[in-house]
Structures are given as C-alpha cells and as structure tokens.
Structure 1
Amino acid sequence: MNAASAATAGAITFVWLGMVLAISFLEAPLKFRAPGVTIPLGLGIGRLVFRALNTVEAVLAVAVIIAVAVGGAPAAIIGPTASATALLAVQLAVVRPVLNRRSDRVLAGEHLPRSRSHLWYVALEILKAATLLALGITLATS
C-alpha cells in the first residue's frame, strides 16, 4: 500500500476510533449519572448524539474505504476495513431501528421494563473499536 494512502487511512481510522471511544464508552454512560437527567431527557440527548456520531462514522468509513482502495491495500488491510464498515452497517440497519422504536415509546410516556437491546449495540461497539484499533495499527506499520 502506498505511504500517503496508508497515512491518510490510518489518521482517519484513529479519529473514528477516538470518536467511538469518547462517545460510546464515556459520554453515553455518564450522561445518565448527571444530576437532573431523567431517562427521557437522557434518551433524547442520546438519540441526537448517536445520530450525529453515526453520520460522521459513515463519512469516515467511506473516506477510509476510498483511501484503502486508492492505495492498493493488501488483504490484511482490506479485511479489517470491511469488518469495521460491516459492523457499522449492522448497527445502523439492524440495531438502531430497534433502539429508536423503543426510545420513541419511552419518550411518548410508556413505562417499559428494562431492555437488553442496547447491549447488542454495545457489543458491536466493542467489536468495532477492536477492529478499528487493529486496522489503525496495521496501517501505521504498513
């Protein structure tokens, strides 16, 4: 892979990873511990934040794909690039709609029992973060 494409893809990958770590693993759990933040308020904030995060992630994923494609990347880079992108796609197409429907009901005033739906999103975030870390390291050492 050419050096410019590897550097570009690596930088974008680490920005993407940083955003996932900061929002998913720091901001999201902490917001519900802030004084005065109710479940509906936290859900409303979370929906806005994650909609923005996922939009930026999609743009970053496309940018990484372009840099990898232009750079003539080997399979060791193509695999994690495809994996990170696929994990994001599953989050957006499968898990987020379920979470959105549930949060719509809570925001409409329904009192629902605890749900484990968000655990699927968290599991995918952990896998995506690990994949992005591996991709970033592979790009930095290529």
Structure 2
Amino acid sequence: MPASLATSVAGTFVWLGMVLAISFIEAPVKFRAPGVTLKLGLGIGRLVFRALNACELVLAVVVIIGLLTGDPGSGPVAALGVAVVVLVTQLLLVRPLLTRRSDAVLAAPEGADGPRSHAHLWYVGTELVKVVALLVGGILLLGAG
C-alpha cells in the first residue's frame, strides 16, 4: 500500500475513533456523573466538541491529501467525501444552532433549562452518517491498497 493511502487509512480510523469516543461515549456519560448539572455539562461539552472539531478538520485534511496523492478508486473517495461534507455541514449549520441553544441555557436562571431545540437530534443524526461514511471509507481504502 502506498504511503499516501496508508496515511489516509490511519487518518480515517483515528477520526472514526475520536468521533465514537467523544460523541457516543463521553458526551452522554458526562451527564450521568454525580454533581454535573446541565449548565456544567454544556460548558464542558462546548470545549470538548470545539477541540474534537478542530482535530476532525486536521484529520480531514490529512485524509484528503492522502486521497489526492494516492490512487484509491472512486469508492473510498465517495465515502470519505460524504464524511467531509457532513463535517462541514455540522460546523456551518448544526453547531451554530447548538451554540444558540447552549448560550440560552447558560444564560437562563438557575433551575431553568432554557428553550428546547431539535439541533441536538440533527447533530446526532449527522454523527451517525459520518461514522458510517468513515467506516465504509476506511474499509474500502484497506481494499484499495
């Protein structure tokens, strides 16, 4: 397997692991910890997801460069292209909605949850699409080498 494709494989699976660990383990578990209020959990979540998204952008660039300099075929490119498009959609469309919601909750008086929002469901849905795209893309890349 050429080094460029091996780099894309590594970047893809590191990216996948980070999304699974943060979005599907850390995020829901933190709210079950003793003493973690909604406001505290949201404050922590904002920091964690900002860091995750920065890492995702770096990994997306690494994966794209590896795909551009290798010859993976159309399958991995399409699958990983979906993952990149989903990430950009999350950053430009869904995250701003989540930020508005968390701003309102953090500004609400103690004991009030603030306004409800469906943005969280959109984020979870896009995370699921991204996970499938990364898994499929990574597996197809392994077969391309």
Once residues 11 and 102 of structure 1 are traced to their aligned partners in structure 2, the CA distance between those partners, rounded to angstroms, is: 35
Q: Deviations over 1:8-42 (max 9, x none)?
A: 10011000000000000000000000000000000
State the 1:7 CA deviation. 1.2
Corresponding residue for residue 114 of structure 1: 116
The RMSD of aligned alpha carbons is 1.2
Q: How does 1:1-142 map to 2 (within 5 A)?
A: 3-109=2-108, 111=112, 112-142=114-144
Q: Deviations over 1:65-124 (max 9, x none)?
A: 000000133111211121110000000000000000110111112532433220000000
Structure 2's unaligned 5+ residue stretches are none
Structure 2 length-normalised TM: 0.93
Once residues 133 and 34 of structure 2 are traced to their aligned partners in structure 1, the CA distance between those partners, rounded to angstroms, is: 35
SS at match of 2:87: helix
Do 2:76 and 2:138's aligned partners in 1 also have CA atoms closer than 8 Å? Answer: no
Identity %: 58
Q: Which amino acid aligns with 1:122?
A: V
Q: Which amino acid aligns with 1:47?
A: R
Once residues 138 and 28 of structure 1 are traced to their aligned partners in structure 2, the CA distance between those partners, rounded to angstroms, is: 29
Structure 1's unaligned 5+ residue stretches are none
SS at match of 1:63: helix
Once residues 117 and 81 of structure 2 are traced to their aligned partners in structure 1, the CA distance between those partners, rounded to angstroms, is: 30
Once residues 25 and 94 of structure 1 are traced to their aligned partners in structure 2, the CA distance between those partners, rounded to angstroms, is: 20
State the 1:46 CA deviation. 0.2
Q: Which amino acid aligns with 1:24?
A: S
RCO higher in 1 or 2 (8 Å CA, sep ≥ 6)? 1
Name the count of aligned residue pairs: 141
